[in-house]
């Protein structure tokens, strides 16, 4: 970080500690962050400084978090409706790819660093937040367990029924853009933000839905 950025942060911290200034609002913090990112962060390799630009939905969720209360329900619905419009459903109606590829993707957290090549596949990083199989010794618990997905989410009981169809579409939407269902979700908007491709999303869907995948054993 450059000297002027360090000096500005030091002055702000000293003022707050001394009681001479109130904490800045979320909007003010966004402006400060934007000015620092413009001055101190540059495009390097596949990483572009533009990813640090504030986005309305992020700003609104941050404001609610800073205020210590949930985002306004009506506002959340409006934000979710806008995010839902970004989801593209499989044109061929096929939601499943190769579960073996999906497993590798789900267990990988690499990618999107400046030293990666543009054609380097990104990991899905699913293991960091979800349990994926019964053989895992450790797994993330930020998100719900995905182990026994077909059984626990009603797909195994009636694979061709309306409830199963709705769950398959929901799973696809969550992988594509999780904020279409939860405005302030911490789950990455994987396909919408270009972290993974539609083909990779199908592989993850196969990991969840294929009876032979470790998720369903």
Mean pLDDT for 31-35 is: 70
Q: What is the pLDDT of residues 67-84, one digit of tens each?
A: 999 999 999 999 999 999
186 half-sphere exposure, CB direction, 13 A CA radius: 11
Q: Is the pLDDT of residue 99 over 90?
A: yes
Q: Which of 40, 36, 15, 55 is nearest to 179 (CA)?
A: 55
Q: Is the pLDDT of residue 6 over 80?
A: no
What are the structural domains, with CATH classification, of the chain? 3-54 (no CATH), 99-216 (1.10.760.10)
Q: What is the pLDDT of residues 190-210, one digit of tens each?
A: 999 999 999 999 999 999 999
- How much is the pLDDT for 1? 47
Q: Is the pLDDT of residue 21 over 70?
A: no
Q: What is the pLDDT of residues 165-197, one digit of tens each?
A: 999 999 999 999 999 999 999 999 999 999 999
């Amino acid at each position: 970080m450059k000297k002027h950025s360090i000096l500005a942060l030091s002055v702000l911290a000293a003022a707050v500690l001394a009681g001479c200034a109130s904490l800045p609002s979320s909007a003010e913090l966004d402006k400060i962050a934007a000015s620092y990112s413009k001055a101190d962060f540059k495009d390097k390799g596949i990483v572009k400084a533009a990813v640090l630009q504030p986005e309305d939905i992020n700003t609104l969720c941050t404001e609610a978090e800073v205020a210590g209360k949930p985002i306004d329900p009506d506002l959340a619905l409006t934000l979710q409706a806008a995010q839902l419009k970004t989801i593209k459903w499989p044109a061929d109606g096929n939601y499943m790819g190769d579960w073996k590829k999906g497993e590798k993707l789900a267990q990988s957290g690499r990618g999107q660093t400046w030293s990666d090549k543009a054609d380097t596949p990104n990991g899905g990083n699913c293991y960091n937040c979800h349990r994926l199989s019964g053989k895992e010794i450790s797994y993330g618990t930020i998100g719900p367990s995905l182990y026994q997905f077909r059984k626990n989410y009603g797909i195994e009981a009636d694979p061709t029924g309306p409830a199963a169809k709705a769950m398959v579409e929901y799973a696809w939407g969550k992988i594509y853009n999780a904020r279409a269902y939860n405005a302030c979700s911490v789950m990455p908007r994987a396909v919408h933000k270009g972290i993974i491709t539609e083909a990779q999303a199908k592989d993850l869907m196969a990991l969840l839905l294929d009876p032979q995948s470790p998720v369903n054993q």
